[in-house]
Structure 1
């Protein structure tokens, strides 16, 4: 890593570009602050005035975590902000805080029985109705602050906020958010192709990655990048989100394209199975699919097939020598992997090798 003295100064164009991006992204986020009592939060959850979007996880908090959260609430400890999006009908979509809100509803208006508590040990085994009315009122009167994005915030703004708020915690990942927020024919195709046996065999993933729908992420990248990188600004998440959204709309108007894209993916996968002995693995018994390597091989192969369709049945010289070459290792390295120049370099590398260029 270069020291501050060794780094060249940023050019005026780089500074202007950075400032323009800050202004553009900031305009998408307009919000106001609010504050709700626990009683009102529970009531609004029960009435359906708070909407849990499909991209958020099911009610996954284990009993111990619910109890610990309620203990914090009873003790009056600070509770993190809730984040909402104001829907056109006036209801509030929960961007972050659904687990807390559902725990509050289950305790105040339901039958949640507290488990073993570390601090309030005497409260273990209590339900809300077991508490004296005076304590019930005090809990109901506690307030929690919220931030509400106004109705003009688009899907990408909510997607970004959810991702940033939850960085490092156990939350829905990009593929899960995309699946729920962008339901439609193209998203359905991505989900379908992610589980075809040949692809599963070529692209091994860990149990954790499987649960987080990593193969859906790979399929989405395949289509988004091989369809062209116009508008790509070194932000894969935003680019893929917008691409899937656009394709959902397009396939409604042009349903025949569905089979075309399905065939394109399956043809590429079958080609890779025939030509690349390790699939997307680094070695024969590898158990992972590095994203940069996947992009190089999958998209590079697709670009080569687009340029010369007969390649699908042509004999291909052994690819292993250049797969283990220093050049290939360099172009599929993680340093600056999302930069458009690096993306084009690694996909172009495979395309050119396959075409014998």
Structure 2
């Protein structure tokens, strides 16, 4: 038992030594000026700005009413003379947009007279109060390395549920080679044309998640247990630095060429669709890839089943992440393409 206690003590201390921080207060005006002058930066593992006008407005209303605001987390890079935002990028940018008269307040429930107002519309007294309001910052010291900053980001955003699981995953491993590979694939022009994704979903990294799902299900479908987040993270971890880039890219590009040639609407339901259902993308992309890798001579008479009740049934969103449902829709497409009716030698 004593040995166990000693082990616990050492393990806790080892991690505590790696995370050093201080608590400081910065006036809003000072934070915004430093942000504008790039003395405060938002690293690439942070999400894009996605807060709605109403959400930004509610934050500003809370500040004007004197309510306490959740801590911001910054990392101090003394060599570069900058502060890096670890958590709080959405709040920081909202405050900055308001101070710069780029945010018009909307949907306020308490300070209703401020609806449709910009910062410059405030009485001078409250302009000064707003600028002088101190935001409390947890300032991580230089000892807190990049790995632990990402871990803090991961834990803060997992417990507060501010991010989609894919955003936390991509943020945690942002600088890894495999994540950069996924990003490049998601910017493929053919992919973007065939797989329309709404701007709102793009901001939440849906385009990247679909690419990741394509590779993960194509490579490791047998290992899938119905827990998508864990499955995708395990696949990313397995491929962080050691992955067959040439093979994966070839599979991705060959699949896109086939879909462009034989699926009239790409992955979408219609030519006018502004978004692509995940179930449909998974069925078509993975089904096509598995079929191409099994036999280049495929049945390309696709329209006979693409609009069928059977295909619509297997691509329903009900219990979409259930393993049997996932396998069923992928196998449906794969088997239709490998069928015995009309075959063409596909040259890719």
TM-score by length of 2: 0.63
The residue that corresponds to 1:201 in the other structure is 193
Quick check: 2:74–2:87 contact (8 Å CA) kept in 1? no
Relative distance call for 1:276 and 1:61 in structure 2 (3 A) is closer
Q: Give the Cα separation in 2 of the matches to 1:319 and 1:98.
A: 46
For residues 328-347 of structure 1, the aligned pairs below 5 Å read 328-347=311-330
Q: Give the Cα separation in 2 of the matches to 1:67 and 1:301.
A: 46
- Partner-residue secondary structure (3-state), 2:241: helix
Deviations 1:19-39 (A, max 9, x none): xxxxxxxxxxx999x995635
Relative distance call for 1:302 and 1:166 in structure 2 (3 A) is same
Q: 2:46 aligns with which of 49, 56, 61?
A: 56
The residue that corresponds to 2:88 in the other structure is 97
Relative distance call for 1:288 and 1:67 in structure 2 (3 A) is closer
Structure 2's unaligned 5+ residue stretches are 1-14, 106-110, 341-348
Q: 1:218 aligns with which of 199, 205, 210?
A: 210
Matching of residue 348 in structure 1 with residue 338 in structure 2: no
Structure 1, 257-266 or 35-44: larger mean CA deviation: 35-44
- Partner-residue secondary structure (3-state), 1:343: helix
- Partner-residue secondary structure (3-state), 1:38: strand
- Partner-residue secondary structure (3-state), 2:247: helix
Structure 1, 175-184 or 34-43: larger mean CA deviation: 34-43
Relative distance call for 1:260 and 1:179 in structure 2 (3 A) is farther
Relative distance call for 1:50 and 1:263 in structure 2 (3 A) is same
Deviations 1:192-227 (A, max 9, x none): 222323222221223333444432222111111111
Relative distance call for 1:244 and 1:315 in structure 2 (3 A) is closer
Q: How many residues align?
A: 302
Deviations 1:133-185 (A, max 9, x none): xx96xx55xx8698x9x999896885475256355xxx688358616743233
Deviations 1:311-339 (A, max 9, x none): 2xx35241222222222222111111012
Matching of residue 320 in structure 1 with residue 303 in structure 2: yes
Q: Give the Cα separation in 1 of the matches to 2:186 and 2:238.
A: 20
Q: 1:229 aligns with which of 192, 214, 221?
A: 221
- Partner-residue secondary structure (3-state), 1:222: helix
Q: Give the Cα separation in 1 of the matches to 2:308 and 2:48.
A: 45
Quick check: 1:53–1:180 contact (8 Å CA) kept in 2? no
- Partner-residue secondary structure (3-state), 1:250: coil
Q: Give the Cα separation in 1 of the matches to 2:242 and 2:268.
A: 34
Relative distance call for 1:155 and 1:99 in structure 2 (3 A) is closer
- Partner-residue secondary structure (3-state), 1:249: coil
Matching of residue 189 in structure 1 with residue 181 in structure 2: yes
For residues 119-268 of structure 1, the aligned pairs below 5 Å read 124=122, 126=124, 158-159=153-154, 161-162=156-157, 165-167=160-162, 174-175=166-167, 178=170, 181-229=173-221, 231-251=223-243, 257-268=244-255
Quick check: 1:172–1:212 contact (8 Å CA) kept in 2? yes
Quick check: 2:154–2:168 contact (8 Å CA) kept in 1? no
Structure 1's unaligned 5+ residue stretches are 1-29, 252-256
Structure 1, 68-77 or 276-285: larger mean CA deviation: 68-77
TM-score by length of 1: 0.62
Quick check: 1:220–1:240 contact (8 Å CA) kept in 2? yes
Relative distance call for 1:70 and 1:297 in structure 2 (3 A) is closer
RMSD: 5.0
